[in-house]
Amino acid sequence: MHVLLIVAFAGLILRDQLRIAPPGLDWLGPWAILGATVLPMVALAAMTHGAMSMAGRVLDTSGQWRALVLAQRALSASRWAGLALHLTAVLALGWLDAVRAVTGDLILADELLAMLPLLAMFTIGWASFYSIERRIAEAAFLGSIDDGRHAEPLVTRGRFVSLQVRHQILLVLVPMSLLIAWNESAAWAFDSLLRAHELGRLDPSGWLNAVAAWLAEGETASWVGAAVQLTGVLIVLTVMPLIITVIWEVEGLPSGPLSDRMNAICRGARVRPARVLIWRTASTLLNGAVIGLAPATRIILLTDALLERLPMRQVEGVMAHELGHVRRRHIVWLGVTMLGSIGLTASLGELALRAAGLLTVRPGEPPPSTDLMALGLSIGCLLIGLVAFGFVSRRFEWQADAFAVQTLSRTPPLESLPDAPDEASRVAAVATDEAVDSARAMLESVARINHIRPEQFSWRHGSIAERIRRIEALRGVPLNRFPIDRQVRWVKAACAAAAAGAVALVVWPPL
């Protein structure tokens, strides 16, 4: 979902960079484009609802697990189809232009309105899928009562949809909106300053006039624009922990044995203790997450279901996994991956097209000229960036799993050290059977409680079956010689080289 939303926003940004009008603008008016955009989304939502209803009837009559799998696949397919419809509407029909024809080019408002049909289709999909989720929850509720275990109350449709929107849509929508608002505000301020300079409205001896004259230089403007965009990204990443505490339901982990043990895991992982929060999901989600770059603002989230339903050792494994992302700086390197893959591909592709005479530079316009060839290059770069992101992200996930095994091996279970301080437990030199078994059980619990098939592939995380296989292969391996650590070092080196090459081609273009 997060990748889909980022691509949807990228389509809006790409439309702003194109100087050619979408074909649909030539023969459709704003209201006709509205119908051509919204009606296919409505039809897609209706088809998704029908698929969920059919899967629900199969579950009621046969109880087959296959019906759940088909419902999940239908929901996933509807999201990809919705993204395709959104990109077609924006880039071919001129949906963003139609919105602006009615509202004007307002800061952020036009982009959010253009995203609204896609977001509504996603939300309706969750509302339809609730019928499947409800059946699974009822079965789990009855099973807990039969086994004499605590049974979590069932959530309503509105609560379920609200949680999905907040956890999946708002997590991307809020920071992307802030970035767009930042960039558009900066562009408006620069344009206003340059216009005032050109019209002679500034004091010729004042500092504002000097700044405007400096910005009027083509090379200077491009570098300042890049610096402003980078500043916006850094600001948003810095405030992300605060954003999370607003859009999600979180609360501090109370003092006690659990808090003490989480701090011990931080020390065992040699990571500065972060702020650990309970992530309230109405016990519908078993997961953990780490948010924030700076240690002072970083937060680690553990869901309520995770703390309620997993034994302490598996909770420690989840915590160690999240600390692995921090210790190995995965968030930063994912950014380097996107910069390197997209930047290098764009630079090399532009050079190749210009050398072949397929991409020309128009007088008075910054290269590259935005014709259909440039559009194809932009889409190709985005696709390559997504492929590289998924490839690297999955290996980072495997390394975080391995880091959990390393940490658990160095920090034995609390019951095995009743009188020993935590720091005295770092004696293991190889991955212990107990650590491997705990990490494996952790992933199995995540799959079982979240209703995920172990073989189900995830673009960012791979499959749980593959992760378990890699964890099992670590038994008895020296902690400082895990194969995934060596592999990730090569991956990081390649990403750094690609990013350096992209920067070099921008600063010293050969053509």
Q: Where are the domains of the chain?
A: 1-154, 165-239, 248-330+392-507
Q: Is the pLDDT of residue 360 over 80?
A: no
To the nearest 10 degrees (0 to 180), the angle between helices 372-410 and 330-355 is 160
Q: HSE-up of 234 (CA within 13 Å, CB side)?
A: 7
Q: Is the pLDDT of residue 149 over 70?
A: no
pLDDT value for 372: 64
CB-CB neighbours of 267 under 10 Å: 16
pLDDT value for 344: 85
pLDDT value for 423: 45
pLDDT value for 511: 56
Task: Answer yes or no: CATH 3.30.70.380 is held by domain 248-330+392-507.
Answer: no
List the structure tokens of 263. Answer: 């701090």
b/e sequence 438-471, b meaning 16+ C-beta within 10 Å: bbbbbbebbbebeebeeebeeeebbbbebbbebb
Q: Strands of 288-291's sheet, edge to edge?
A: 249-252, 275-280, 299-303, 288-291
d(CA 438, CA 310): 11
Where do the DSSP E strands lie in 287-428? 288-291, 299-303
Tens of pLDDT, residue by residue over 292-307, are 877 778 888 889 888 8
CA-based Rg of the chain, rounded to a whole angstrom? 26
Q: What is the mean pLDDT of the chain?
A: 83
Decide: helix, strand or coil at residue 18: coil
Confidence of residue 449 (pLDDT cuts 50, 70, 90): confident
Short-list 108, 39, 48, CA closest to 78: 48
Tens of pLDDT, residue by residue over 464-510, are 999 999 999 999 999 889 999 999 999 999 999 998 988 887 767 66
Tens of pLDDT, residue by residue over 215-253, are 666 556 666 777 888 888 888 888 888 888 889 988 888
Which residues are paired to 276 by β-bridges?
Answer: 300
State pTM to two decimals.
0.79
Decide: helix, strand or coil at residue 222: helix
